[in-house]
Homo-oligomer: A and B are copies of this chain.
Amino acid sequence: MVETPRGNAVIGQSGGPTVVINQSLVGLVRAAAGVDAIENVYGARHGVKGILDEEFIDLGREDAATLDAVAATPAAGLGSVRKKPTEEECSRILDVFEAHDVRYFFYIGGNDSAETAHIVEGLAQEKGYDIRLFHVPKTIDNDLRVTDHCPGFGSAAKFVASAVMGDDLDNRSIQGIKIDVVMGRHAGFLTAATALARRHPDDGPHLIYVPEVAFDVERFLDDVGATVERIGRCVVAVSEGIHDADGELIVKSGEKDSHGNVQLSGSGALGDLLAARVRGRFGASTRVRADTFGYLQRSFPGFASEVDADEARRVGEFAVEAATSGDHASGSIALRRHDGPEYAVDCFVTPLDTVARVTKSLDPAFLNEAGNDVTDAWLDYVRPLAGALPVIGRFTGHPVEKRLGR
C-alpha cells in the first residue's frame, strides 16, 4: 500500500491513434470525476508536446453529450504525437506537473508511451515528487507484452476482415490476383486477422504473409500460382513489414520518426512491387491489383468492434481505480482473458518496464508450417475481439441445363 496523494490529473494520448482510443480517454475522465483524490482532470494537447508547452484543456468542463460523442470518435481527441522526450524534456515535464500540482498522469499509447512514463517515474523518484504514473494501452498492432490483447486492435481487426471480405467478393465477381497490404511493421496480428473474412472453403484471403516469417518472393509466386490453379483466382493479405531471411524489408523508404521507426504506411510501394512481380511471373495480361489499406485501418468511423470499444472504456476506468487504490505507484493496465468457452476479460496492473520498449510478435502456434496462413488456434483467439462481422449471402446456384452446347 502506498499513500494516495491529492491533486490534479493529466491525460495524454500518444502514437498512432485507434478508433477507440477516445473511449479510454472518456473512461479516464468519467472515472476521475468520481474520485476525491483527483481535483481537476486536464488533457494535454498532442501528448508530451502539450505537457512541455503547458497546453492543457480542462476536461472536467466538457459536458456529458460532448464526452459521449468524443468517445465514439476515432483518432486522438486531444491530439497525438510521435515524440520520445529527451532527459532534459522529462525533467521539464516534472516541472510542469509540479507547477500544476499534477499528481496523476495517465498516458494512453503503445510501448513507447509506457517507456516515457517509466522514464518520468525514475526522475520523479530522484526528485522525491509524489506522482502516480499509469500507462493505458492502445495499439492496432496488438504488439504489447503481458496483456492478452490491446484495445484498438479488435476494431482494426474488424475493419481489415470486413475489407478483405468485400474485396474477396469483388475478386470473385471479376477474377484475378489481388494483393492487400495491411499495417504491421514487426507484428502480423492485424494481417492475420484478415482470416476472419472466410465463410466458405474457397473464400479469401487465400494466402497470408506476416513479418514473423521470412518472405521469399519466389515462394510467394509459387503459392499464388497454386491458388490460381485450384480456384482460378487469388486474394493475398500481406503485412507492410514483411522482410527477407536477412531481415531486409521487402520495401523500404527513407523516412524515420524520432523513435527510429521506418515509414511503411501511407505509401503504395510494397503492393505495387508485389503486383509487378506477379505480372512478371504470370504475364502482363494477368489481372493483378494491389490495395494498401492505409490509415483507414486505424481511423474509419462508425465501424468499431463493440467488444473493443467496451474494453477500451474499461481500461481507462480501471487505470483511475488502480492509481487511486493505494496498491500501485505506477503501472500499465493489461487484460487477462478468462479460461473457458465464454469470452470474458479482467483488467490488472503490470509494471511499466514489462511493457516498455520490447514488443510482442505472433505466437508460432498461430502460424501454419508453410508460413503462408494462420491456424485454428489463431481464429479462436481473434474472433471475439473483432466481434460481429457483416453477414453475407451466396446463391445456392441451381444450374440450368444447356441446350446448345458449344
Contacts and interface: CB of A to CB of B under 8 A. Distances in A.
A62 B395 CA distance: 7
Give the interface centre of A68, A73, A254, A391 by most chain B CB atoms within 10 Å: A73
29 contacts: A16-B174, A53-B406, A54-B403, A54-B404, A58-B398, A59-B395, A62-B398, A66-B395, A67-B393, A69-B392, A71-B393, A72-B393, A74-B169, A75-B166, A75-B170, A75-B172, A79-B173, A79-B174, A95-B404, A100-B403, A165-B301, A170-B299, A267-B271, A267-B275, A268-B272, A291-B295, A292-B292, A293-B294, A302-B391
A113 to B, nearest CB: 14
A390 B296 CA distance: 14
A403 B394 CA distance: 64
Contacts of A284: 254-255
B80 A174 contact: yes
B302 A290 contact: no
A86 interface: no
B292 A78 contact: no
Contacts of A404: 54, 95-96, 99
Given A80-B174, A95-B404, A295 B68 contact: no
Given A54-B404, A59-B395, A69-B394, 4 more contacts: A17-B173, A76-B174, A79-B172, A292-B294
Given A77-B394, A167-B296, A174-B81, A58 B400 contact: yes
A298 interface: yes
Nearest to A95: B404
A284 to B, nearest CB: 7
**Assembly of this chain: how many copies?**
2
Interface in A375-406: 389-400, 402-406
Nearest to A388: B302
Interface of A: 13, 16-17, 19, 40, 42-43, 46, 53-54, 56-59, 61-63, 66-82, 95-96, 99-100, 162-163, 165-167, 169-170, 172-174, 178, 254-255, 265-269, 271-272, 275, 284, 288-296, 298-303, 389-400, 402-406
A402 B45 CA distance: 13
B291 A266 contact: yes
A262 to B, nearest CB: 14
A169 B301 contact: yes
Contacts of A173: 13, 17, 46, 75-76, 79-80
A290 B303 contact: no
B301 A68 contact: no
Given A54-B405, A95-B404, A395-B66, A170 B268 contact: no
A133 to B, nearest CB: 20
Given A54-B403, A75-B169, A70 B299 contact: no
A96 to B, nearest CB: 6
A294 B295 contact: no
Nearest to A100: B403
Contact of A289 (B75, B265, B300, B397): B265
A396 B174 contact: no
Given A169-B73, A266-B289, A267-B275, A395 B43 contact: yes
Contacts of A13: 173
A346 to B, nearest CB: 29
Contacts of A71: 393
B167 A295 contact: yes
Nearest to A81: B174
Contact of A290 (B16, B255, B266): B266
B290 A267 contact: yes
A178 to B, nearest CB: 8
A252 to B, nearest CB: 14
